[in-house]
């Protein structure tokens, strides 16, 4: 599932990314006097809760992008050989169904959803939201018990480390979120997550 074709694009992203942490830090209010928020101890040590938090946060960012990016630029691609915004979004969100099939002992689907089936913003938003919800349900259903033994994947029931499986799911989607940030910047746009908070 590792994607290598957009290395040059990601170099641009890395260069731009270094500009923002200092700005964000300077805008953060002083919270040293606020009492620490109490977290549920069970949640803090639950691997399911940890991966679910990462998955949902990345999903929230993807949904924010697909709801915000100009619809007339959905077929924009930063350079030849890369996916369009529409294709990249379908790939990033749709990876959940690749993992879903593997967990069910089935062969994963071949290729990504066809972009022509998601021509409008409404259709693309609905797909991304459903995929993120299905991913969260998949992680929740597996539960903490799935971390106590090897995870069997695919028709051949190959044994895998469960931590690695969930990390791969979250990392893959997160990598494509980072890629889509470049699509914003290349069009002179500021991604939703980088805008000043109101």
pLDDT tens string 6-50: 444 444 444 444 444 444 444 555 555 666 677 776 667 799 999
Q: Name the one residue in this structure whose structure tokens are 């797909």.
A: 127
Tell which residue, 66, 47, 70, 185, has the closest CA to residue 130: 66
pLDDT for 37 equals 72
Q: Is 42 helix (H, G, I), strand (E, B) or coil?
A: helix
Count of CA atoms in the C-beta half-sphere (13 A) of 92: 30
Q: Is 121 helix (H, G, I), strand (E, B) or coil?
A: helix
Residues 6 or more apart in contact with residue 68 via CB below 8 angstroms: 192
Percent share of the chain, pLDDT over 70: 79
Integer Cα distance of 28 and 16 in angstroms: 20
The region, left, alpha or beta by phi > 0 then psi within -120 to 50, assigned to residue 12 is alpha
Average pLDDT, the chain: 85
Integer Cα distance of 177 and 91 in angstroms: 11
For the chain, which domains are there?
A: 42-194 (1.20.120.450)
Does the pLDDT value for residue 131 go beyond 90? Answer: yes
pLDDT tens string 54-73: 999 999 999 999 999 999 99
Integer Cα distance of 160 and 89 in angstroms: 27
């Amino acid at each position: 599932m590792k994607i290598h074709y957009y290395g040059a694009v990601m170099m641009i992203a890395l260069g731009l990314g270094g500009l923002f942490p200092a700005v964000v830090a300077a805008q953060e209010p002083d919270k040293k006097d606020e009492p620490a928020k109490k977290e549920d101890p069970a949640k803090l040590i639950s691997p399911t809760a940890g991966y679910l938090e990462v998955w949902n946060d990345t999903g929230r960012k993807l949904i924010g992008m697909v709801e915000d990016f100009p619809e007339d630029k959905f077929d924009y691609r930063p350079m030849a050989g890369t996916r369009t915004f529409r294709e990249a979004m379908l790939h990033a969100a749709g990876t959940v169904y690749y993992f879903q099939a593997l967990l069910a002992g089935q062969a994963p689907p071949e290729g990504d959803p066809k972009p022509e089936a998601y021509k409008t913003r409404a259709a693309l938003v609905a797909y991304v939201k459903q995929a993120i919800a299905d991913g969260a349900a998949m992680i929740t259903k597996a539960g903490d018990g799935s971390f106590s033994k090897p995870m069997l994947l695919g028709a051949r029931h190959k044994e895998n480390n469960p931590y690695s499986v969930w990390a791969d799911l979250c990392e893959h989607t997160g990598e494509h979120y980072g890629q889509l940030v470049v699509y914003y910047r290349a069009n002179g746009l500021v991604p939703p997550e980088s805008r000043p908070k109101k």
